[in-house]
Structure 1
Amino acid sequence: MPTYTEQKPSSTMGNSALPCLCWLEVGVIELFLFGGLVTLAYLLHFTEIIPVVQQGFICQDIALSKPFAGPSEAVPWPVLYAMAFGAPVVLILVGELSPVLYQLGVGAMRDRAATAGQQGVPTFLRRLVKFTGLHLFGGCSALVLCGLGQVMTGSLAPYFLSVCSPNYTLLPVVSASPDGPSCVPATFITDDICDGSAEEVYNARRSFPSLHATLSWYAAVFMALYASSALCLRGTRLIQPLLVMGLLALAFLSAASRVTEYRSHAVDVLGGSVLGAAIAVYLVGILSFCLRICSVSLVSKIRLTKTTDPHITHGPF
């Protein structure tokens, strides 16, 4: 059986590995695109630089006259972001390190460095980087797509009229009422007549799709698919189904709380849920398959280089 001397990968191999997230080497283009994605997500959700489409509303619309619950929420924003970005990373870390720690405990740990062009990188570390990178990329993509949908549709929240505090005296036709000037019933108003807080009005114009529903269902479906396909749990067969059902139940409760608190319409929650789940299914399914194809292709190139390179020496058994 011929043996080969260790050879560092050529620059051609390194460049071919750049588009693959499964390696620890990430190309400049990938870092630039991910940085742009993070920046766009920040501008969409943490600033008011990007204007939102101003939708009109019907005078005294009951669907937009729900009370505003204020800053207190069933699922606060810090908890939402911790669940969406922190919990999957912890699950991936536990799932990838637990087999390694188990093997170390029984004394059967071997160096399974499936190098494929980068010697000395353990398999579990490459898997950890791959799954974590996929999750963070998907989370930022969900933020961007949801934010773009909100600013482009300008859908009004159920509590819009409560925070808008419309000044009906600015309308060309005003109806008299015992409580003061009012709009003519069933009139469609397109003018900006809000006297309420500018920040609250801006947020009330971004109802579809629901960001809570998008991030909750993205994280839940991503973790459920990871737990079902990549996480090996020893013990009873009910651990994985219970974990998956628990994740989906948490996502459903988080999304449903937006409707019960009159912060989003049911269609807003449904749209956000479908968006988040679709992103998770795509990343875990289609993109993971593409990464495996990329890995196999790169390994084939390395083996071909070892066969054709004249500098490779052959030795005894």
Structure 2
Amino acid sequence: MPTYVEQKPSVGMGNSALPCLCWLELFLFGGLVTLAYLLHFTEIIPVVQQGFVCQDIALSKPFSGPSEAVPWPVLYAMAFGAPVVLIVVGELSPVLYQLGLGAMRDQAATAGQQGVPTFLRRLVKFTGNSNPLFPGLHLFGGCSALVLCGLGQVMTGSLAPYFLSVCSPNYTLLPVVSASSDGPSCVPATFISDDICAGKAEDIYSARRSFPSLHATLSWYAAVFMALYASSALCLRGTRLIQPLLVMGLLALAFLSAASRVTEYRSHAVDVLGGSVLGAAIAVYLSVAVLGCFRVKPAVPGDVAGQGGTPPEDRVAVITLP
């Protein structure tokens, strides 16, 4: 009678594939960062040239110049730096609170056999993943938002509300010109597909990239990412208003940042709406599907109120207010 011997998977082969995966992740992330740089900080990738209607009022808004309500350095700092600050403060607050009371339990509880404190593992979870060589996950999401937004801009070539102001069209290049007291002009209500712009090339390139709005994309990505973290990973005992106020404040800042693009005539309302949906969708996917926010965790033996026990790795950070 034949005997069957159970074959266990080799542990060594699984571990030997880890360096390859690390280099593959770093290679893919480097390619993502490079593509984001080429899309938003250079003019190497051409934009689809869209035509316009002669004397289109929707494209004749004034150009307010380089000054903006939300400058680009502030936008990038809030999109890439603010989530890290919130996560670090949220994860270290309970540790510092317990140290101040002198009632800190085993915060240096080892993770597996690596001797990593629990709160450091949570920081890795929310800003990266189990691979210490992989960059922050929220940074990966921000670069993904930059790439998707940039691809949408160069592929659609949507014209900004101030396009005609920076285009300075030379109507003498048209086959049919209408005479007026101010000089040659285009025939009203005619569609112009020729490139007759005589303005500054840099401003024209930016004016052809209106949809989706980059300000709206990054603002809503960072706001929704931080709001989901604050809702799922922070538990404030003793108050019921601080957490909702924090979430509503983040969403309000994102709304104001996106709305400023419309009030300054830099984007259309549909551009802002498209960017907001794109940024929020990326944040929701990373927070819920990848990080597992709001996922129900199994009960841990011994972790009953009054019985002590070691909290699980994904246990929410608790800040008790007097």
TM-score, length of structure 2 as denominator length: 0.80
Cα distance change, pair 230–9 in 1 and its aligned pair in 2 (3 A): farther
Q: Please list, as runs of the form range in 1=range in 2, the aligned pairs for 1:113-152 lying within 5 A after superposition.
A: 118-132=113-127, 133-152=136-155
Q: CA deviation at 1:130?
A: 2.3
Cα contact 1:23–1:126 (8 A) shared by 2: no
Task: Write the distance in 2 (CA, Å) between the matches of 1:172 and 1:237.
Answer: 68
The 8 Å contact of residues 59 and 184 in structure 1, kept in 2 or not, is answered as yes
Assess, with a 3 A threshold, how the Cα gap between structure 1 residues 151 and 183 changes in structure 2: closer, same or farther: same
Shift of 1:8: 19
Deviation, 1:4, is: 29
1:11: how far off?
6.7
Structure 1, unaligned runs of 5 or more: 25-29, 294-316
Query: Residues 23 and 130 of structure 1 are in contact (CA less than 8 Å); yes or no, is this contact kept in structure 2?
Result: no
Cα offset, 1:102, TM superposition: 1.9
**In 2: Cα distance, 1:235 partner to 1:112 partner:** 23
**Which of these residues, 287, 292, 314, is aligned with residue 291 of structure 2?**
287
Cα displacement (A) at 1:241: 0.3
C-alpha spacing 1:227/1:275, structure 2 compared with 1 (3 Å): same
Distance, in Å, in 2 between the alignment partners of 1:78 and 1:223 is 19
Partners of 2:163 and 2:204 within 8 A in 1: yes
Unaligned runs of 5+ in 2: 128-135, 297-321
Question: Is the Cα–Cα contact under 8 Å of residues 157 and 207 in structure 1 kept in the other structure?
Answer: yes
Q: Which structure dedicates a bigger proportion of its chain to helix?
A: 1
- 1:6, CA displacement in angstroms? 26
Q: Give the C-alpha shift of residue 2 in structure 1.
A: 35
Higher mean C-alpha displacement, 117-126 vs 205-214: 117-126
Give the 3 Å change call, closer, same or farther, for CA 48–177 of structure 1 in structure 2.
Answer: same
Distance 1:220 1:18, change over 3 A: farther
| Equivalent residues of 1:20, 1:291 under 8 A apart | no
Query: For residues 275-297 of structure 1, what are the alpha-carbon distances to aligned partners after superposition, in whole Å with 9 as ceiling and x for unaligned?
Result: 00000000044453x9999xxxx
Q: 2 CA distance for matches of 1:2 and 1:88? A: 60
TM-score normalised by length of structure 1:
0.81
Q: Secondary structure in 1 aligned to 2:236?
A: coil
Give identity over the alignment, percent: 93
Report the counterpart of residue 241 of structure 2 in structure 1. Answer: 238
Give the Cα separation in 2 of the matches to 1:16 and 1:249. 48
Q: Distance in 1 between matches of 2:277 and 2:227?
A: 15
- Report how far residue 108 of structure 1 moved: 3.5
Q: Secondary structure at the match of 1:176?
A: strand
Q: How many residues are paired up? A: 288
Residues 173 and 82 from structure 1, CA distance in 2 versus in 1: closer, same or farther, beyond 3 angstroms?
Answer: same
| Residues 215-255 of structure 1: per-residue CA shift (max 9 Å, x gap) | 00000000000000012334311010000000001100100
Query: Which deviations, in whole Å up to 9, do the C-alpha atoms of 1:80-128 show, x marking residues without a partner?
Result: 1111111111001101111222222233334456655551122211221
* Alignment partner, residue 111 of structure 1: 106
Cα 1:186–1:241 shift into 2, 3 Å: same
Shift of 1:129: 2.0
Q: Larger deviation: 10-19 or 51-60?
A: 10-19
- Evaluate the alpha carbon distance shift between residue 37 and residue 4 of structure 1 in structure 2; reply closer, same or farther with a 3 A threshold: farther
Residues 1:140 and 1:3: Cα distance change in structure 2 (over 3 Å): farther
SS in 1 for 2:294: helix
* 1:22–1:130 Cα contact (<8 Å) kept: no
In structure 2, the CA distance between the partners of 1:23 and 1:99, relative to structure 1 (3 Å rule), is farther
- In structure 2, do the counterparts of structure 1 residues 128 and 3 end up closer, same or farther at CA, with 3 Å as the change threshold? farther
Distance, in Å, in 1 between the alignment partners of 2:113 and 2:157 is: 49
- Are the counterparts in 2 of residues 22 and 129 from structure 1 also a CA contact under 8 Å? no
CA deviations 1:176-216 (Å, max 9, x no partner) are 11100111111111111111010000000000000000000
> Relative to structure 1, is the Cα distance of residues 13 and 48 closer, same or farther in structure 2, using a 3 angstrom cutoff?
same
The 8 Å contact of residues 113 and 119 in structure 1, kept in 2 or not, is answered as: no
Please give the alpha-carbon distance, in whole angstroms, between the structure 2 residues aligned to 1:218 and 1:3: 58
